[in-house]
Amino acid sequence: MLFNPFDPYFLLLVVPAMLLSMWAQHRVTSSFKKYSTQHTTKRLTGAQAAEQVLRSAGVTNVAIERVSGTLTDHFDPRTNCIRLSDSVYDSTSVAAVGVAAHEAGHALQYANLYAPMKIRAAIIPATNIGSKLSIPLVLIGLIFSLPGLINIGILLFATVVLFQLITLPVEFNASRRAIDILDSSGMLTREELPAAKKVLGAAALTYVGALAVSLAQLIRLIALSRGRR
């Protein structure tokens, strides 16, 4: 069975990866909550911080909007828009400023034609197909002993893993850009910068966890395929 929870690959690979992902999610939530109570000396809101990060790099054509939810912040390259959550947009906390600056870092990547971001955007269509069809194709292939269908499913799932792998340098680079500008511009003091780094570092770990889960699943699919043969 494809989803047998007692096979060794599930227990030795997938379960530890899932625990890592869960721990990373908990860490980012707890870090954001902790530093949401620490307000910046300059009392900049998240929206103001994002605007200043953009301006410091000479980027002026990016919109900044509010989006509902918590930690739903993101940069949308299709509309060239930074969307900040309710807990970030008008908050003056160190956590909010760090998250907003990170999203502005993605906007700078887009404006500067940062290669990994361009590659990630280019494979999104294949990734969307892979995330929806890969597991069903592998399952059908295993049930009806169709090696070709299994291989197609595994290949499609590999595009998901590739997307998450490319996401890592994109996320780490955006955080580095954010911290550098927050430091050089004086938006955060030297005492406040470590807190922002902790929030962004915790957020980055969620992408590491997601990659670990997908990579473990890919190895498991390959092993199941070979075992069936």
Quick: pLDDT tens for 170-211. 999 999 999 999 999 999 999 999 999 999 999 999 999 999
2 within some domain? no
Helices assigned H by DSSP within the chain? 8-9, 15-35, 46-56, 86-89, 94-111, 115-122, 124-143, 147-184, 193-228
In the predicted structure, residue 5 carries a pLDDT above the cut 70: no
Over residues 67-91, the pLDDT tens digits come to 999 999 999 999 999 999 999 999 9
50 within some domain? yes
1 within some domain? no
131 within some domain? yes
Supply the pLDDT for residue 153: 97
Q: Which domain holds residue 90?
A: 8-228
In the predicted structure, residue 3 carries a pLDDT above the cut 80: no
Supply the pLDDT for residue 1: 43
221 within some domain? yes
Q: How confident is the prediction for the chain on average, in pLDDT?
A: 94
Over residues 108-149, the pLDDT tens digits come to 999 999 999 999 999 999 999 999 999 999 999 998 999 999
- Tally the domains of the chain: 1
Q: Which of 51, 103, 171, 192 is catalytic?
A: 103
Which strands, in side-by-side order, build the sheet including 63-67?
A: 63-67, 81-85, 74-76
Supply the pLDDT for residue 76: 96
**What integer is the mean pLDDT of 33-59?**
97
106 within some domain? yes
Is residue 65 part of the annotated active site? The answer reads: no
* 71 DSSP assignment: S
80 within some domain? yes
In the predicted structure, residue 21 carries a pLDDT above the cut 80: yes
pTM: 0.92
38 within some domain? yes
